[in-house]
Amino acid sequence: MRDNSYSAVMARRNQIMKSAVGLDYSQFESGGIGFDYEGMMAATGLSMPQVTEVMRSFNVGDTPLLELRNITALARRYAPEGFGARILVKDEACNPSGSFKARRAALSVHMAREMGYRGVITATSGNYGAAVVSCCAKAGLKCIVVQECYDSRGVGQPEIIEKARKCEALGAEVVQLSVGPELFYVFLRLLEDTGYFNASLYTPYGIQGVESLGYELTEQCRQKFGRAPDMVVATNAGGGNLTGTARGMQKAGCGAPVVAASVDLKGLHMASDTQFNRKSFTTGHTGFGMPFSTWPDRSDVPRSAARPLRYMERYVTLTQGEVFYMTEMLSILEGMERGPAGNTSLAAAFCLARELPQDALLVVQETEYTGAGKHQNAQLAFAREHGITLRVGDPAEQVPGQSIVLPEHPGQLRAAEVDLNRLRRSLIHRALTDSKDMPGEADLAFLAAETRTSPAFVRQVITQLLEDDNETK
């Protein structure tokens, strides 16, 4: 009989994960702060053509790249003369499960089947769960989806509840939990009890699946416009979307800057029971984007393959009201009704386009499906029911968890710049806190790669942190 107490299961988590992923993470460790990231990514043994072949076997990918001419024209009305880039969108809602996460799921489920697992488990609020279930149905594997769905009063977030129905419709067993630490505990128990594969969002399989998206959008740009994109915007949560897209672009020979975009939910704690239902976005927000950028290995595997600070050129945030406004703009001007996450990066692109010349190509790298609980009207109604004030005005006046302010006109959409150096310093500080020893040259090189800076920058930050620590003492 196993000891299934919370503390005992948590103590076994690395052993459970190793068994459930089919990857020995210890072979990539250096004994210090750093690890062999590229070695871990290469451990799948799959080339880009092989990844593409897997995608097609699940009917995933080859989604259209569309030019948003009307939204581009509107952005130019608020741009200086000669500015206002052409805004393109990769319509990932055309995948079988309705989002880009089908790419992550396809490769993960393929690997699970190749390694002989009977079933797959994933812990997710929904889009990825639906993608995994869809691929499992095609692969003939069992699937369990574990959701953080309710607050302690039993009130469920509409978007998550809708996604649960989608997962069940595709054949999954869905385990719904209240917000809190039991999610990871139940997830580990299920992995151990079933012997199923852990289709984590953060394995090399998941990230390499998203690489196909970056590769594909680059090649489509070249085919349609004769050149690669000038800038790509990716909605950022756990970092895998941005990481995979950027790596895929690089494999296609494209070095265009990748900009991260998140909904600003500053002040709301994602694991708070009382604040769980006071947000209108379940992903693509700063509650995930900030902590996962500064500590990627907070994920459900020993070493996350999503390392967003390695790849982002800039990081911008939008308010909830601005993203809802953009959602309506996409519907009314382009005849495309799409879900909230992709519209976060689209709202950012509307702002960024005004900084670029008119002949520049600005790509929003994904859309997602929308439906009953994900729809903006459902989310706004839910917010009103929970005491959130809704009004039209200046979005900058919005207070997350208290109000949603919809812009009065398109010129009020403003992408707020995030200080990347602050995030970089936070990552370095976290690495030093977790380490028993001072970093050596190899660790300095690793942290420089992690933060997209240089060993000199890392040394400077470490010196300042030590000085601050001495002053505190």
DSSP sequence for 224-246: HHSS--SEEEEE-SSSHHHHHHH
CB atoms within 10 A of CB 304: 27
The rounded mean pLDDT for the chain is 95
Integer angstrom CA distances of residue 454 from 37, 42, 67, 90: 17, 24, 37, 33
Helices (H), 59-181: 69-77, 101-114, 127-139, 158-169
Tell me: pLDDT of 128 over 80.
Answer: yes
Tell me: pLDDT of 348 over 90.
Answer: yes
What is the DSSP code (8-state) at residue 79? S
Q: What tens digit of pLDDT does each residue of 236-279 get?
A: 999 999 999 999 999 999 999 999 999 999 998 877 888 999 99
Specify the pTM. 0.96
What is the DSSP code (8-state) at residue 180? S
CB atoms within 10 A of CB 244: 28
The residues, ordered by sequence, that sit 6+ positions from 276 with a Cβ below 8 Å of its Cβ are 151, 157, 179, 270
Query: 6-49+99-204 architecture in CATH?
Result: 3-Layer(aba) Sandwich (3.40)
Q: What tens digit of pLDDT does each residue of 185-230 get?
A: 999 999 999 999 999 999 999 999 999 999 999 999 999 999 999 9
Tell me: pLDDT of 443 over 90.
Answer: yes
> Which of 292, 315, 324 has its CA nearest to residue 416?
315
Tell me: pLDDT of 437 over 90.
Answer: no
Q: Domain coordinates of the chain in residue numbers?
A: 6-49+99-204, 57-98+206-417, 421-472
- The CA angle 379-125-259, to the nearest 5 degrees, is 80
The residues, ordered by sequence, that sit 6+ positions from 186 with a Cβ below 8 Å of its Cβ are 146, 175, 177
The pLDDT value given to residue 167: 94
The pLDDT value given to residue 180: 82
The pLDDT value given to residue 272: 87
The pLDDT value given to residue 417: 98
Which helix (H) or strand (E) is 11 found in, with range? helix 6-11
- Model confidence at 473, pLDDT cuts 50, 70, 90, reads low
Which helix (H) or strand (E) is 380 found in, with range? helix 376-385
CB atoms within 10 A of CB 272: 14
3-state secondary structure of 67: strand
CB atoms within 10 A of CB 441: 8
3-state secondary structure of 439: coil
Report the CATH fold assignment for 57-98+206-417.
Answer: Rossmann fold (3.40.50)
Cα–Cα distance between 260 and 257 in angstroms, integer? Answer: 10
Comparing 21-35, 44-58, 353-367, the range with the smallest average pLDDT is 21-35
Q: What tens digit of pLDDT does each residue of 96-118 get?
A: 999 999 999 999 999 999 999 99
Say if residues 289 and 237 touch (Cβ distance below 8 Å): yes
The pLDDT value given to residue 124: 86
